[in-house]
Each structure stands twice: as structure tokens, then as C-alpha cells.
Structure 1
Amino acid sequence: MDPRHSVTDWRTWVSGITPKSMKKAIDFEDAQKLVTQIIKNKIVVGHDLKHDLDSLCLNHPKYLTRDTSKHPPFRHKYSAGKTPSLKKLTKEILHQDIQTGQHSSVQDAKATMLIYQTDRLEFERLAKIHYS
């Protein structure tokens, strides 16, 4: 937990996280260092990655990110140019329902990776165009 801020709303109904579940969590700085080490020089696949990176006060090179919420073909086809939700993309592309109650970060991550894989060549083609 980030010691610089107190949690005022755990949003347990969505996140499944409770104050009790955080008692065994590693501290913010350790989490930040660990994630930094894991993603260094790696392609990171995620959905709306900015929020995850911002909450850890991290930056990651754009040429090494593959964000399913920003992928132009998905934005055009599934949300009229706007940001599609992970729930919508999972329903439309994978024909699966997720986030019907508490969110599961594991389920969300698996769905995101499967969605990325359905259009991996286009993700990589666009990354090559934009960042080479």
C-alpha cells in the first residue's frame, strides 16, 4: 500500500480487496522496485496501462507498451473511436463474460493477453510504424 495516501474507499464490491487482505501486502516502494525490474526492456501488454503505471508512479517506454484500450482497430470497431472497456472487448472478441461482480485481476490479465493475441500482428505492425 502506498504509505503516502490513506485509502478512503476500498471499492471491495469491485476490487475484492479489503483492509485485511492488505495486511500481508508488500510495501509500496518494494512493489515499485519489483515491477520496475520485471518490466525493464520488456513489452508490457495491458488494458488502460496508464492507470496501472500511474498508480505505481512508473513510466514505461511507449514503444514497449501494447494497450488494448488504445489499439485503433479495437477503438474503431467496438466503441466508435472511444476507449472500449475490457469487459466489452472480452465479450465481443472472446465471446466471454468477465467482471460480472468483483473483478479478478488474474481473469482481467488473461483476457487482455488473449485479446492482444487475436490481433498481435497488427499491434506489432503499428508499433513498428509509430516507433521506428
Structure 2
Amino acid sequence: MGAIAGFAGLALLANPAVGSAAVAGSFHATRSDGVIEVTFTGISSPTLVGCYVDVVETYGRFEIRGEMALTGDPGSGTYRLTVPDKSWTYFVEPTCVDADGVTSLPGTDHPPLDLAGSAAMVFSS
């Protein structure tokens, strides 16, 4: 979390005149044969620092944060991850950082699962 706060602080230093910018966009997540794929679309913010995906197994046996490379304006990109066990349940939380802080993105075709007050998806076998 400290690195994310650092990203937001860096964005404020780089462009302090921009205020109340908000990250816009959404994600779509799928799981097939042990691979979770998260696609970001329409990502935009005047002070966007970057986006990432957290994938966490229900009991904490597996947790990873993957960086997302975005292209275009508004940005889009895809993150793929092969999970260690196809039978486990995973929470997927895509997040972007800008000068206003951290924004969890809403899902486009699945109802989001409320995970500590943020948008996330859950996948189970």
C-alpha cells in the first residue's frame, strides 16, 4: 500500500494544479482453464499514474499484484495470470492510481463482489 500512496504523491508533485481528477473506465474479467484474464477499457484521468490487478486466493495461499500496461487514449490493456490451483476461489480487484488516490474499477459484465468496500470479482471452480 505504501508504494501506491507513493504513486499518488508523485502524481501530485508532477501536476499539483490539477484537482479532483477521477479515473474513469471499467474492466472485464474471465477465468478459463486456470488462467485469469482482466481487460481494462476506457481508462482515463488527467493525472493517471498507472493501473494494477490484485489476485488473492480466499484463504491467502496465493496473492499477487500485477502491473497493467495501458495503450491509447482512453487507455486499454489486458493482464493474464496462470493461477497455481484451478480449484481454489480467487478475488480479482483491478485498481488505478491518479492524483486523487486509488480507484477500484467497476466490472462491465458481472455484478461486482463487495470486497472491503471496493469493486472486485470472485472466481471459483
TM range, normalised to the smaller chain? under 0.3
Q: Higher strand fraction: Structure 1 or Structure 2?
A: 2
- Bigger radius of gyration: 1
Normalised by the length of structure 1, the TM-score is 0.21
Q: Greater helix share, 1 or 2?
A: 1
